[in-house]
Structure 1
Amino acid sequence: MRRVLPVLPLLFVAACAVPTNPEVTFYADGKTVVVKPTQYCDLKSEDCDVDARAAGVLRVRPGRPVQISVPGELANSAWSVKFTYRNARGEAQEPLRSKLFTEREPRFAYTLVLPNPDDQLESVEVQQYGARIETSATGAFDFVARGTWVLSVDDRR
């Protein structure tokens, strides 16, 4: 007599890939660096992952532009670029910010051009905004950054 073993259904466990945080690409002087967020939070900017080591470094000569590419996840949200720089005499200037880009007109790339041709870029932050709003010391309303991607500039000649 032959025994028949019951066939057990095979259970397939779907490999659940852990979602990765979006990355931003910076390009200047023929070099590219891909940067992970130094901070990435939920939409309410409450539950955050922080990694200060995620900042990128790129050599940028005085007056040279920096091209920034963002993935769809950022392009289809509210984001802007904040940057610090020095003038030709080496004096720190007031930080500046790009216009605010939103999901109404998605923007996948931005070229950062300094105000004057001899200015030296120091740092760049791409900031994605979440749903949380706070009141500043001046009484103005500010959106809180959900994600921040940082580029430090190597300005050695």
Structure 2
Amino acid sequence: MRRVLPVLLLLPVAACAAPRDPEVTFHADGRTINVKPTQYCDLASEDCAIDTEAAGVLRVRPGKPVQISVPGELAKSAWSVKFTYRNARGEPQEPLRSKLFTERDPKYAYTLVLPKKDDQLESVEVQQYGSRIEAGATGSFDFVARGTWVLSVDDRT
């Protein structure tokens, strides 16, 4: 005789577990940090949960790359990496963005390399895009971020 009843009793308990927000992993200079989203919304980017305490901090020396790993649910969606940095003289540079990664060619990891070897990274944002599109100030159309994972850089040497 098979025991079906105990399995059936466990299913409702497992189904009630709250879904966890996906985490992004940042790695630099031999250290790793997992970061929860500072913003995570439904697919239409309307119903959002905000967690200002979720941003991570990691020490990154000038010119050093940052490796970023994302979970499958993020890799199989539209996402990109936006970052700010300053040059060797300490002058803020125009923020840059990686190419757009999409579900057509899932990308589970990305290595952020600064334009010049003496540049200092300041912040990194992994942005997952939802289905909502808005008109930009220049007349272009932009996808609205559904999820944002933020890394602040500690640049003390």
TM-score, length of structure 2 as denominator length: 0.92
Question: How well do the aligned residues superpose, as a CA RMSD in angstroms?
Answer: 1.3
Rg comparison, structure with higher value: 1
3-state SS of paired residue (2:9): coil
SS in 1 for 2:81: strand
For residues 80-108 of structure 1, give each alpha carbon's deviation from its aligned partner in whole angstroms, at most 9, with x where no partner exists: 00000000000000000000000000000
Percent same amino acid at aligned positions?
Answer: 79
Alignment of 1:99-110 (within 5 A): 99-110=99-110
Are 1:142 and 2:142 matched, yes or no? Answer: yes
Tell me the equivalent position of 1:3.
none
* Partner Cα separation in structure 1 for residue 155 and residue 137 of structure 2: 34
Structure 2 Cα separation of the partners of residues 79 and 135 of structure 1: 19
- Report SS of the residue matched to 1:12: helix
What is the identity, as a one-letter code, of the residue corresponding to 1:122?
Answer: E
Gaps of 5+ in 1: 1-8
Alpha-carbon distance in 2 for matches of 1:34, 1:12? 34
Structure 2 residue 14 is matched with structure 1 residue 12 = no
Determine if the alignment matches structure 1 residue 68 to structure 2 residue 65.
Answer: no
Q: TM-score, with normalisation over the residues of structure 1? A: 0.92
Query: Letter of the aligned partner of 2:9 in structure 1?
Result: F
CA offsets 1:39-66 (integer angstroms, 9 cap, x no match): 0000000000000100000000000000
In 2, the alpha carbon distance for the partners of 1:66 and 1:26 equals 7
What is the aligned residue count?
Answer: 149
Partner of 1:57: 57
